[in-house]
Structure 1
Amino acid sequence: MIGYVTIGVNDMEKAKQFYTELLADIDAKLLMDMDRIALIGRSMEEPMLAVCIPYDKETPAPGNGNMIAIHPGSTELIDRLHAKALELGATCDGAPGVRIPDVFYGAYIRDPDGNKIAFYQFGPA
């Protein structure tokens, strides 16, 4: 149902580099680059992440309570993506771990622009 989600960024080149490097481990790549907006994902037929300079050209601001959740496919990939995000300049917003036993494993970061990203897995860790 979701085609893509968009987050505002301050520096397009930095954001494209951050997300293409971070998500390369789950086969995502830059799919479309159109000046103030870029789409990153596996294909144009799957859900994508868009990074953009806001249309009104005002400073982007992460929404309180807004978060993008990415399902990489395993707890090992969650751990790896969380660590890689920190290496690329993100800040930790919740270390990888079991949140609800046998139900939910997750890790949380804030990207360089402050957008909250979760990596998650449902089921036993």
Structure 2
Amino acid sequence: MIDHIGIRVADFDRAKAFYDKAMAPLGASLLMMVPAEFTGGMKVGGYGRDRPVYWLSEGSAAGEPKHVAFTAATRAEVDAFHKAALEAGGRDNGAPGLRPHYHPDYYGAFVFDPDGNNIEAVCHRPE
């Protein structure tokens, strides 16, 4: 249903360093930087696995922090995401584990990114 989503980040280079590490265990990476002539000089980049779906735009972080959940293929990917995100400077917001109050097979982990957004990796497969 959702094709892509974008958030503003206060410091693009800091956010990029964080997301480069946090996304790697999920098989995602920075796939595109929009040329500056199309953005008025603002840094804009898109992360994804096969196409950009999660966009970072340089500027003042707008409004309330966001919550975004990324699909993980396995519970081990959730664990690796959480570890990598913390090593990249994220703040823990929920260690990897089952969340049966959402669904019996819901295995997720939550981390605050450098701008205070609550990012999550989740696997819905039983293991």
Indicate the TM-score class for this superposition, using the shorter chain for normalisation.
0.7 to 0.9
Give RMSD over aligned pairs: 1.9
Give the structure 2 partner of residue 60 of structure 1. Answer: 61
Contact conserved, 1:4 with 1:48, CA < 8 A, in 2? Answer: yes
Q: Which residue of 88, 109, 112 maps to 2:111?
A: 109
How many residues of Structure 1 are paired with residues of Structure 2 in the alignment?
118
- Name the TM-score, length of structure 1 as normaliser: 0.83
Q: Does the alignment pair 1:42 with 2:49?
A: yes
- Per the alignment, do residues 49 and 5 of structure 1 end up closer, same or farther by CA in structure 2, a change over 3 Å counting? same
More moved, 106-115 vs 32-41: 32-41
| Rounded Cα–Cα distance in structure 2 between residues aligned with 1:94 and 1:103 | 16
| Rounded Cα–Cα distance in structure 2 between residues aligned with 1:26 and 1:94 | 18
1:102 is paired with a residue whose SS is coil
The share of aligned pairs that are identical, in percent, is 34
Give the structure 2 partner of residue 15 of structure 1. Answer: 15
**Runs of 4+, deviation exceeding 2 Å:** 61-64
Structure of higher RCO (CA pairs closer than 8 Å, 6+ residues apart) = 2
Unmatched segments (≥5 aa) in structure 1: none
- Name the TM-score, length of structure 2 as normaliser: 0.82
| Rounded Cα–Cα distance in structure 1 between residues aligned with 2:58 and 2:95 | 29
Unmatched segments (≥5 aa) in structure 2: 35-41
2:99 is paired with a residue whose SS is strand
